[in-house]
Structure 1
Amino acid sequence: MPEGPEIRRAADRIAHVLVDEPIEEVLFAFPDLQRFTPVLSGQRVLEVETRGKALLTHFDNDYAIYSHNQLYGVWKIAKRGKMPATNRSLRLALHTSRHSALLYSASDISVWPRDELGMHTFLATLGPDLLSARLEWQDVSERLQSPRFAGRSLAALYLDQHFLAGSGNYLRSEILFCAGLHPKRRPKDLSRGERGLLARETLKLPKRSYETAGITLPPRLAATLKKKVKGFERRRFFVFGRDGRACYQCGDKIRRDSIGSRRIYWCPTCQPES
């Protein structure tokens, strides 16, 4: 599933071709949404916003399209009239005179009056967005100390969108590695220093991933590996997807486990259990 940085980058691409442009044609694949075609056709897009892994396309008539990529959804941008070659099912299309923003394979799409978005079941319960410019590390530290979250394992907490919106499998593993914390540890058992470091890494890693199109490694290490390692997926992360390989910091072998049916990776030396 795409995580916060990937959804934000998709929103940037969509905004580049849609914002301030009149939407000449709207296509919904789902019959229950087709009644909104005349409502949105001819309107201008004001903003393309992300809230965690959800994407909101805001129109100047005070409506918004909510979409969530879930596991398989993907946005594609194309020149108007030149549809991408794909076997995926088209679920939503927004056409301007020059471009098309196309959502494939997603099933979680709805249309809302903008002033009612707070009533959306998913949006109403989201925690702060990891990539929000207003979110400070002190805010994350406070949430870690909240009775609602402090007694849970970090592995569970960093997948919970009520805690922080936009985190997912790879960010969870990478954040905990960079903070030097074992996935089974709990916020209430952390020292003040550990909690502060975790809060800072919680904001730093998603921002780096957004800026680098999915790389969580620091620039110097990423540049070095690019010369030595073939394949983008093999040189993106500290630990995620690297089970059995040497840790870049200590040389120990990265381990993989399954917690709550989701895979997680860590270094037993850099992230001791206690």
Structure 2
Amino acid sequence: MPEGPEIRRAADRVHRQLAGRRLDDAWFAFPDLAGQAASLIGREVTAVDSWGKALLTRFDDGRVLYSHNQLYGVWKLHEADREPDTGRSLRVRLVAQGRAASLYSASDVSLWDTSSLDEHPFLSRLGPDLLTHGITIEQGVARLIEPRFCRRGLGGLLLDQALFAGIGNYLRSEILFFAGLHYSARPGNMEEGTLAHLATCILSVTRQAYDQAGVTNRSDWIAVDRARGASRRRWRFAVFERDGLPCPACGTTIRRVTVTSRRLYFCPSCQPS
């Protein structure tokens, strides 16, 4: 399933397609939205960004179109007069100056005023988005040591979207590896320097995954793997999906465990319990 970096890259693509342009047409498959489509015609798309796994399309009158791709939703960008070649069900179409963005197979779509967006039943439960909300290392540490988070093991905590929005399964394993922390470690038991290093890794690994289209591994380790003929699926990560292989840092065999019902990969030597 796509994680925060992939959703933000999708938002960026829709932003480049529509932002700064006024809508010539809007269409919704949902009856409660279809009646509002006409009111969007002539409105300028000011930005498209993301919050966790939700896309937010913002208009110049203060309204925001919320959409969540869930498991199967996908945005397709195309010329307005050329229908995408797909068998998926069209849910939303926005057209601006000959360009179109069409959302297929998603069912969670709604229109909100910016002032009431924090009342959204999904967004109101999310922590800040690591790629959208400009989180600093100091702010990251402050969240980690909040009473509701600090006594929980990192293996489960990092997947809690109330902490930070956007961290999914591959990011969890990669962040913990580069932070040198075991999945059972708790923020409340950490020294200040360890907390700062963890917050730094949370931000930097997520940012790298965004900048490099899902790659979180170090460039020198990637070069070694590629020289051996490894596939992208193998070399893009340092530990995720690499169980049974040697750790790129120390050579210890990488292990796979199940934490909060999801697979997690770690190096027993680099991340001691």
Give the TM-score band, short-chain normalised: over 0.9
1:95 aligns with 2:83: no
- The aligned residue for residue 153 of structure 2 is 153
Q: CA RMSD in A?
A: 1.7
How many residue pairs match? The answer is: 273
CA–CA separation in structure 1 for the residues paired with 2:71 and 2:139: 29
Instruction: Please list the CA deviations of residues 243-270 of structure 1 after superposition, one character each: whole Å capped at 9, or x if unmatched.
Output: 2222111222222222222221111111
1:42/1:264 CA distance change after superposition, 3 Å = same
1:165 aligns with 2:159: no
Q: Percent identity?
A: 48
1:247 aligns with 2:247: yes
Output aligned runs, 1:12-27, within 5 Å: 12-27=12-27
- The aligned residue for residue 37 of structure 1 is 37
Output aligned runs, 1:1-274, within 5 Å: 1-132=1-132, 134-273=134-273
Q: Say if 1:2 and 1:70, in contact at 8 Å, map to a contact too.
A: no
TM-score, length of structure 2 as denominator length:
0.93
1:133, CA displacement in angstroms? 6.0
CA–CA separation in structure 2 for the residues paired with 1:247 and 1:83: 47
Q: Say if 2:50 and 2:132, in contact at 8 Å, map to a contact too.
A: no
1:222, CA displacement in angstroms? 3.0
TM-score, length of structure 1 as denominator length:
0.93
1:227, CA displacement in angstroms? 4.4
CA–CA separation in structure 2 for the residues paired with 1:263 and 1:35: 44
1:224/1:24 CA distance change after superposition, 3 Å = farther
Instruction: Please list the CA deviations of residues 86-122 of structure 1 after superposition, one character each: whole Å capped at 9, or x if unmatched.
Output: 3332221112232211222222111112221121122
Instruction: Please list the CA deviations of residues 165-190 of structure 1 after superposition, one character each: whole Å capped at 9, or x if unmatched.
Output: 11111111110010011112211122
Task: Name the aligned partner's letter for residue 192 of structure 2.
Answer: R
Q: Say if 2:141 and 2:199, in contact at 8 Å, map to a contact too.
A: yes
1:81, CA displacement in angstroms? 2.4
For residue 127 of structure 1, give the secondary structure of its aligned residue in structure 2. coil
Gapped runs of 5+ residues in structure 1?
A: none
1:86/1:225 CA distance change after superposition, 3 Å = farther
Instruction: Please list the CA deviations of residues 206-260 of structure 1 after superposition, one character each: whole Å capped at 9, or x if unmatched.
Output: 1111111110112333344344434322221111122222211122222222222
1:30, CA displacement in angstroms? 2.1
| Structure 1 stretches of at least 4 aligned residues deviating more than 6 Å after TM superposition | none
Task: Name the aligned partner's letter for residue 220 of structure 1.
Answer: D
CA–CA separation in structure 2 for the residues paired with 1:113 and 1:129: 20
1:44/1:221 CA distance change after superposition, 3 Å = same
For residue 121 of structure 1, give the secondary structure of its aligned residue in structure 2. coil
CA–CA separation in structure 2 for the residues paired with 1:47 and 1:132: 12
CA–CA separation in structure 2 for the residues paired with 1:66 and 1:129: 15
1:46, CA displacement in angstroms? 0.8
For residue 184 of structure 2, give the secondary structure of its aligned residue in structure 1. coil
For residue 170 of structure 2, give the secondary structure of its aligned residue in structure 1. helix
Gapped runs of 5+ residues in structure 2?
A: none
For residue 101 of structure 1, give the secondary structure of its aligned residue in structure 2. strand
Q: Say if 2:65 and 2:109, in contact at 8 Å, map to a contact too.
A: yes
**Comparing 46-55 with 85-94, which one deviates more in the overlay?**
85-94
**Comparing 184-193 with 111-120, which one deviates more in the overlay?**
184-193
Task: Name the aligned partner's letter for residue 54 of structure 1.
Answer: A
**Comparing 221-230 with 262-271, which one deviates more in the overlay?**
221-230
Task: Name the aligned partner's letter for residue 87 of structure 1.
Answer: G
**Comparing 48-57 with 128-137, which one deviates more in the overlay?**
128-137
CA–CA separation in structure 1 for the residues paired with 2:188 and 2:229: 39
